[in-house]
Every structure is written in structure tokens, then in C-alpha cells.
Amino acid sequence: MLHRLRQVLVRPGRDRLTGTVEVDETYFGGEEPGLRGGRQKGKKSLVAVAVERKEPHGFGRCRMAVVKDASAESLQGFVAENVEPGATVVTDGWPSYLGITGLGYVHEPHSQRAAAARGEDIGNLLPGVHRVASLAKRWVLGTHQGSVGDAHLQSYLNEFVFRFNRRTARSRGLVFYRLLQLAVDHDPVRYRQLVADSRSKKVPPVPPWRRGHPPSLDRARANRPWRSAR
């Protein structure tokens, strides 16, 4: 039932992020031994994160999505899907973001290497996405004990985004009411849409001597003299 609810947390045609938006990527699931660097292959799942900046301080809504790689096609597709054209997109110096100006965005790249050379804290370049990614990883590790498979990671990210974007709601009952609205507006979620392998599993045939009633019903009735027949 929880997975059915997670499937309806994304409203079709929802508003995209506006204003100044930070965009970056992070990995969920840990690293493989012998690999270094943020975008090396072999990690678990690459997740793109976008967060609205609020002036003079604070953060607004966020978006998170699993992407197949850190290529321009994947990252620019994530930006186009989640950020309204005309917004200012703040990223690091990764080359895959360099083409988003052609999509109608104002791009502000910040080189982490240059910031480190100047003695600046690179964590201050994109504080919003770093904070949201840290909160999401802590939530997955603490609430779900880190047992979130790759096939279902996007569903858990949808739940985190739903909770985060409504963190300032004064009435928790209205948040639950909103969840029910989304469930009603969506098409029914089938079991085959939730399982990682939707193919039918082979069930071993039941031996002839095991068919029919369970053994408990085949036994003779117990002798209960206090239950005399009327």
C-alpha cells in the first residue's frame, strides 16, 4: 500500500521550479571499492537534485530524479523537465550543463576547482542541493535502514520531495488530505507496476495428495463430549 501511495505523489503537469535554482548530482547507495570521484562509473544510483533559492536566505521547493548518467542529455533533460524556462540555474563547472542557455535559462556555473584554489569553501557554492541531498540520504538510512533498492529508489525520492516541499505546512491533516486527492486523481496502480520483475513467476504444481482441503480439515473431528448434538 505504501508503494501504491508513493506512485501517486507526483502530480501530472505540476509547476516547475522558478527563480534562482541550484542543480547538482549525487550518488545514493554507496561506492564500490577502488573507485574515486563524484561521477565515476560503478556507483549505485546517480540522482539529480534541484532546489529553489529564496532571498535573502532559505530554500523553497526541490526536485529529485534518478538519471542514467551525467551526460548532457540526462542532466539537461532533468533541468528542462523540472525548471521553468527563464529561471537562473546555478551549477558547478561540469561541462554537461554548458548547453542549458540554449534551452532558455540563465546559467551561472561555479567552478569548484577555482573556488578551492582561492581558499573558499566549495560547500558554499551550492548549499541548497547539498543540504537536500544530505537530508534525503539521512532519511533513507535512518527511516528505511538504507534498504532501498535501485528499482524503487525513485518512489522513495518522490516521497521525500513530497514531504520536504510541505515541511512548513501548519496542518498535517491537510497534507494527508492532499495525498488522498492525488490518489483519486491518478489512474489505479497495479501490482505489476510496483514489482521490479513484472513477469509471472512459475508456481510449482501441487501434488494430488495435497489438493483439496487443508490437512487440518481432513482430520477426524475431536471428541468434545460437552458439545452434545441437539
176 found inside a domain: yes
> Can you give the pLDDT at residue 148?
84
pLDDT at 220 over 80: no
57 found inside a domain: yes
Structural domain count, the chain:
1
* Residue with the larger pLDDT of the pair 144 and 82: 82
38 found inside a domain: yes
Give per-residue pLDDT as tens, 13-28: 889 999 999 999 999 9
Give per-residue pLDDT as tens, 135-180: 999 999 888 887 788 888 999 999 999 999 999 988 888 898 989 8
Residue among 74, 166, 91 nearest 129 (CA): 91
Q: What is the CATH number of the domain that holds 139?
A: 3.30.420.10
pLDDT at 127 over 60: yes
pLDDT at 39 over 70: no
pLDDT at 67 over 90: yes
Containing structural domain, residue 13: 2-185
Average pLDDT, the chain: 84
115 found inside a domain: yes
For residue 85, give the DSSP letter. Answer: T
Q: What is the DSSP string of the chain?
A: -HHHHHTT-S-TTPPPB-SEEEEEEEEES---TT--STT-TTSSEEEEEEEEE-SSS-EEEEEEEEES-SSHHHHHHHHHHHB-TTPEEEEES-GGGTTGGGGT-EEEEE-HHHHHHTT--GGGTSHHHHHHHHHHHHHHHHHSTT---GGGHHHHHHHHHHHHHTTT-S-HHHHHHHHHHHHHHSPPPPHHHHSS--SPPPPPPPPGGG-SS-HHHHSPPP--TTS---
86 found inside a domain: yes
> Can you give the pLDDT at residue 213?
59
26 found inside a domain: yes
* Least confident segment among 86-90, 115-119, 158-162: 115-119
215 found inside a domain: no
> Can you give the pLDDT at residue 145?
81
166 found inside a domain: yes
